[in-house]
Structure 1
Amino acid sequence: MIFSLAMVVMTVASVLGLIVDDRMIAGAPNWLKPFKFAVSFIAYSVMWAWLMSLHPRRPRWLHHTGTLLAVAGVVEMAAIAGQALRGKPSHFNVQTEFDATLWITMGITVAILWVATLAASISVARDVLLPRPLKLSINLGMAISLAGMLTGPLMSQRETGIKGVAGAHSIGVPDGGPGMPITGWNLVGGDLRVGHFIGIHGLQVLPLVAVVLAAFVARHAILAREEVRTRLVWTAGGVYTGLFALVTWQAFRGQSLVEPDALTLLAFAGIVAAGTAGVTWAKSAARTPVPA
């Protein structure tokens, strides 16, 4: 939580940077990347602080894992913000020995974050006791989040042919082209950041679905059945996984999120149909007699 508060301060500082600093990096405002990462880290750290607080025993190694996550996050943000202060790209930048060292350090911290998140996820999935729909949503969210984090290294493996650049977000077009507001996602080509974003934030979205379903129990009698809510969470998890896979596949085909072709639309329709079938499956649980 201390780290999340630090990221709130970083978010405010980045907003001020966006206002007073007119420098651009790869076609985006200089302080946009620190802003996006700070906001993402707030969601990440608050969520994990809550999940770790649910552990019935809170073993010492899990406490140390939380500390490791925070320290790795600090190192990552220090590199990103430091490069912004210099007016240099933080990602894929190997133009000088110093830039390359920072980029390698960031790669190491990402690996540490992933391994530590995996260890914490296994502990939460195994030991934390919660109502079945909420526990399922957390387990699915952790799995999708870990998969989303793995799309990051895929970007660093992209060959650009540009000296001093080791990787790229975009596919089919160079980085730095027209981008969506705030996110900066490429508007004319594929962009792996779309799947990366959707994937890593599954850990926030799916538990929120379970919480909302529980909140509506008093208003909708059908949701009083735990099995109905559980099946709806399974459905939400399946739809969310499908969307994550779809936008990642779309990016690898060099296609912008806002310019889907017929094949992408057909796949999206399939996800919608599967989601509709899942809702029907969930509703059918309300008609199943409760075991004596």
Structure 2
Amino acid sequence: MLVTSVVAAVGILVDDRVLAGAAIWAKPFKFAVSFALYAPALAWMLTLLTSGRRVGWWAGTVVALASSVEMVIIIGQVIRGKRSHFNQATPLDAALYDVMGATVVILWAGTLVIALLLLRARIADRASAWAVRSGVAIALVGAGLGFLMAQPSAGQRAAGGLDTADVVGAHAVGVADGGPSMPLTGWSTTGGDLRIPHFVGMHALQLLPLFLLALVLLAPRVTRLRDPRVRLRLVLVASGAYAAVVTLVTWQALRGQPLIHPDGATLAAAGLIVLATAAGALAALRPATPDSSADAPEKELVS
């Protein structure tokens, strides 16, 4: 995927074709980068398994193969100058889209198997256990939100003729795909965009474990972070906040509202999330109880 992202980046620079309002190589570039981040995080999580390692190996292999097949189809359609997603224009396009849809389901199922194995894994550090399990659970929800895009949009349903339509499904809500969009991400600036909760949710897989890693790296300088119970409480707060943000951007997108143009209700909900997260973080950083052992945090951190 790293190599593919480089190839796609070159394609963006040298190929001036535009499809659905974006550079034709933008989609394979974004997918390759996303998979390049997703795969190492999932591979690291597989090393934490204490039982079912062989099942985990097979699940990880299935995820890798499904991702590869999806990328082959996306790049193949770019070479043909065709849409990869939602394309029902010809029997070949529809068949390729159906295969790609199947790979997404397989990828999601493989990740679910790994998530179930992680629930059973005996991870000594509770903060690590929660960061990993919360990350993969939220990532599954984020990946699942992608299935909403495969459904006919309100405009497509209103137009009718779905059996003969060239395109069925959309990223945008309330506006047509291919309109004004944000730089780099391509997210709509005039309507809702279901790619946002899909993206934010999936990358909990990396961000929550990285948040814990940051706490561990700061522990030598911040005394309270040496206590594993404080780190656990902070991870729980971060997991709750992350889940709330995924919920918020999903609600915003489904209402046809651009990410960068929130209304009063969205801003109020975001403010509540910020306040709740801040309150939770302050509570998590409370001093340890007097009867706790002074060296217990250090022993557990080493463990």
Same structural fold, with TM-score higher than 0.5 when normalized by the shorter chain: yes
Cα pair distance change 1:25/1:130, threshold 3 Å = farther
Partners of 2:290 and 2:146 in 1: CA distance: 46
Aligned to 2:290: 289
How far residue 290 of structure 1 moved from its aligned partner, in angstroms, is 4.4
Deviations 1:236-283 (A, max 9, x none): 111111111101100011100000001100000000011011112102
Aligned to 1:71: 65
Kept in 2: contact 1:52–1:58 (CA 8 A): no
Deviations 1:158-192 (A, max 9, x none): 33427211100001100000111111000010001
| Unpaired segments ≥5 residues, structure 1 | 1-6
Secondary structure of the equivalent of 1:94?
A: coil
2:249 maps to a residue whose letter is: V
Match of 2:21 among 8, 27, 31: 27
Kept in 1: contact 2:22–2:178 (CA 8 A): yes
Aligned to 2:296: none
How far residue 225 of structure 1 moved from its aligned partner, in angstroms, is 1.1
How far residue 103 of structure 1 moved from its aligned partner, in angstroms, is 0.7
Deviations 1:10-54 (A, max 9, x none): 001101100110001100000000000000001111111111122
Matched ranges for 1:204-243 at <5 A = 204-243=206-245
> Which TM-score applies when normalising by structure 2?
0.91
How far residue 71 of structure 1 moved from its aligned partner, in angstroms, is 0.8
How far residue 207 of structure 1 moved from its aligned partner, in angstroms, is 0.5
Aligned to 1:157: 151
Aligned to 2:39: 45
Matched, 1:118 2:112: yes
Aligned to 2:273: 271
Partners of 1:178 and 1:19 in 2: CA distance: 20
Deviations 1:129-151 (A, max 9, x none): 24111211111101100000011
Q: What is the CA RMSD across the aligned residues, in angstroms?
A: 1.3
| Unpaired segments ≥5 residues, structure 2 | 160-164, 294-303
Aligned to 2:184: 182
Matched ranges for 1:102-117 at <5 A = 102-117=96-111
Paired residues, what number?
Answer: 285
Cα pair distance change 1:20/1:128, threshold 3 Å = farther
Kept in 1: contact 2:191–2:256 (CA 8 A): yes
Q: Which 10-residue stretch deviates more, 229-238 or 125-134?
A: 125-134
2:146 maps to a residue whose letter is: G
Matched-pair identity in %: 46
Q: Which 10-residue stretch deviates more, 17-26 or 156-165?
A: 156-165
How far residue 66 of structure 1 moved from its aligned partner, in angstroms, is 1.4
Partners of 2:112 and 2:292 in 1: CA distance: 36
Match of 2:172 among 164, 170, 173: 170
